[in-house]
Amino acid sequence: MRQWKYPHALQPVKLSAIVTVYVIAVWALIGVTMRYHIGAAKGLPPLEVKPDAPRLEEAKKSVEELPKVNAPCYVCHLNYAQEELSLIHAKANVGCMSCHGKSEAHRGDEFNKTPPDVMFAKDAINSFCATCHKRHDAPAQSVILRWFEKSYGTKPETLVCTDCHGEHRLSRRRVLWEKRTGKLLPSPGAVAKPKETVNALIVTGVDHPAHNWRETTPALVKLLEADKRISVRVIEDPHMLDSQALHRYDVIILHFMNWETTSPGWLARENIKQFVGGGKGLVVLHFACGAWQDWEEFVQLAGRIWDPKLRPHDPRGRFKVEIVNPNHPVTMGLQSFETDDELYTCLSGEPQIEVLAVARSKVDGLSYPVAFVHRYRYGRVFHCTLGHDVKALSAPEIGVLLRRGVMWAGGHLPAERHNR
């Protein structure tokens, strides 16, 4: 028989070495895979937000106040603890996973590539919403009219529920986690340093004939921008509140009263509710308390509003503003002072407010709030009834009070500590 001879490349010794290397490689791969899965099992994000979790620029609520129904999602998406659509549903015990499904694959995806189990195509939205919302309160004609007001340019018959009632999308996850250690880490750029400036938008352009907004507005801008951290822009049409550009700002300053004119419509109202309710600031100045007389929700935003059934104010003149809450950041270190202004005696409302300053009426001897703060969901509201005209705004103490109110509403501690 012809004897088979191994080629030089496949000599028995070398073949044995190749097999040995192969076995070792497979064994090592199995070991790495096992360690990876063990690490992944240990490294899954927790099911609840912990107090020491990385804090995000949008996450201002304490852990105790977070809706428990969304706890597993807030671990990575804590910015959604302030998102209106998820909050409304959370109050009804309908959590993120009720709509989007429970997905271990999504929860265990370090690089955020796996979507939740249920993602909605547009043609599935209406039928899903209808499982809970059996009827629509607004007539069809009204819905179509709203759509045309938005000027989106699409056909009304293509409307779905979220076109009018809001939608939410995550552009990026705000927290990363390491499978190896199981630790939560802020994603790059997620934890930003507090902004050094507050971008404020003054909304004016119409008022009662006794209030010359064309004179008071530039005086107000100058007064506020004396604090270099406050950047002010002015719009002279309150109806522009229906623009999404509103959300570029940190604080809205209402300096208008729609006297004998149409008040901003439903879109502007929803816009400002989302703006303040989502965690931004609102400042209500002087007769802005009388805006939106046809909108019941406005008292929840402003805290107190003008009641035309009450006596409007004392005769214009000098009176003392007494600081009654010296421990609040807006009034800390401020002393009582005198001003020449209108003392409003016409405010009414039920929301809980924190009064900062009051003044005593020379007509009835009663004390009335002239500066107070309160919360509208996650937003901060500073309300000051002072500022009738340029003379009233020229008092140095008024400037300090308003600057500090704007900074506080914008989420910052005021820097000014004393009258000056």
Within the chain, how many helices (H) and strands (E) appear? 13, 13
Are 313 and 343 spatial neighbours (Cβ–Cβ below 8 Å)? yes
pLDDT of 19 reads 60
The domain locations on the chain are 63-186, 198-409
- Cα angle for residues 293, 294, 296 (degrees, 5° grid): 90
pLDDT of 16 reads 66
E-state strands within 125-277: 175-177, 184-186, 198-203, 230-235, 251-254
- Cα 75 to Cα 88: distance, rounded to the nearest angstrom: 19
- Cα 17 to Cα 32: distance, rounded to the nearest angstrom: 22
Res. 130 pLDDT band, cuts 50 70 90: confident
Q: How far is CA 122 from CA 99, 101, 259, in A?
A: 14, 17, 42
pTM of the model: 0.57
Helix (H) / strand (E) containing 305: strand 305-306
Residue 75: other Cβ atoms inside 10 A: 20
Res. 151 pLDDT band, cuts 50 70 90: very low
Residues 131, 135, 141, 147: what is their CA dihedral angle, to the nearest 10 degrees? Answer: -40
pLDDT score of 35 more than 80: no
Higher pLDDT, 68 or 372: 372
pLDDT score of 410 more than 80: yes
Quote the tokens at residue 24: 């070792």
Q: What is the pLDDT of residues 273-307, one digit of tens each?
A: 989 988 899 999 999 999 999 999 999 999 999 99
- Cα 280 to Cα 171: distance, rounded to the nearest angstrom: 20
29-33, 195-199, 302-306: least confidently modelled range: 29-33
Which CATH superfamily includes the segment(s) 198-409?
Class I glutamine amidotransferase (GATase) domain (3.40.50.880)
Average pLDDT over residues 399-409: 94
E-state strands within 216-285: 230-235, 251-254, 281-285
Are 40 and 182 spatial neighbours (Cβ–Cβ below 8 Å)? no
